[in-house]
Amino acid sequence: MSFEGLFDAGGAATGALAQIRARSETTKIAEIDAEDFFNFAEQRPSVKIDDGVRSIDWPSTSVWACKTDGPRDLVVMSGIEPHLRWQSFADQIVDVVRRSGAELAITVGAMVSMVPHTRTFGVTGSAADPALADRLGLDRPSYQGPTGVVGVINERLDAKGLAVMSLRVDVPHYVPAAPNPKAAQALLRRIQQTTGVPTGYEALDGEAQDWVRRVDGAVASDPDSQSYVERLEKQVDSNPEMLPSGDDLAAELEAFLRDRSADGESPDSSTPESHASENDEDDGSQDSGGESA
């Protein structure tokens, strides 16, 4: 899942999931109604006219079932970080994850960082579950301070006993604008390495190379910028990081999921219906009747 906003620098996270949808057999299965979660004076709906028919396009969070080429399929959720009622929004995300039968939830994001555009963009992974973090060599969450809706969702999923990990790609702070295909590709590569699910990250090779060339041209036209990027390159080159192989990561994830199943661990066993009654609120998601992967 990804959300436009604080945790989506360069549109890398939402761009990565759009790439997964574009190359998959995809069915839209649900949508979270925006009415309760947005201040429309800040995130305005747009008017469109199609064949003479005028309609309003409202901001929303949509859910797709994506059939992949690998042994596992994906449920992909993408939208805009809401303005209001984050706890209720997170509860609805938990409900979607529960209904889909997903064994693992992955939040993906992008944050500006001191990384040069000429080097590989690092992807940081974290998980609150010690077993999952140890299996995949992930960090435990350590950040303290103001957070976005992704942080709230991660906490809520973990509290409900659902396996969840977070992946965040570094984006050069001096090129924060979207789109950033190189950062999206880095996220897709790490998702594939970690889960073994094909993401088609290779298809972004051309766009990522074109992006680097365009930034190269802009930097070369300004001696101060060129000097600054060279300093960043030296810093990064002096601190290389080694990651386990993709096969090793995928194997460890499979082992973790098998262990959870063998131990009889399961997420919060309450049904979606009982969950809704506990909150005395409508579910807020509109299931289209499709069958999630």
Cα gap 8→49, rounded to integer Å? 29
Residue 134 lies in a domain: yes
162: left (phi over 0), alpha (psi -120 to 50) or beta: beta
Q: Are 8 and 2 in contact (CB under 8 A)?
A: yes
Residue span of the structural domain in which 185 resides: 2-37+58-237+256-278
Q: Does residue 292 belong to any structural domain of this protein?
A: no
Which pLDDT score is estimated for 172? 94
Is the model's pLDDT at 278 over the cut of 50? no
User: Residue 290: inside a domain, yes or no?
Assistant: no
**Is 30 inside any structural domain?**
yes
Domain assignment present for 262: yes
104-163 confidence digits (pLDDT tens) = 999 999 999 999 999 999 999 999 999 888 888 888 988 888 899 999 999 999 999 999
**What pLDDT, in 10s, does the model give residues 13-60?**
999 999 999 999 999 999 999 999 999 999 999 999 999 999 999 998
Q: Is residue 43 one of the residues assigned to a domain? A: no
Identify the pLDDT of residue 244.
Answer: 52
Q: Is residue 251 part of a domain?
A: no
Q: How far apart are CA 151 and CA 146, in angstroms?
A: 9
CATH code, 6:
3.40.50.10900
Quote the number of domains for the chain.
1
Residue 46 lies in a domain: no
Q: What is the pLDDT of residue 292?
A: 33
Q: Report the distance separating Cα 1 and Cα 187, nearest Å.
A: 12
Kindly report the pTM of this predicted structure: 0.81
Tens-place pLDDT, residues 227-277: 999 999 998 888 766 455 556 656 766 776 777 777 766 544 443 333 333
pLDDT for the residue 252: 67
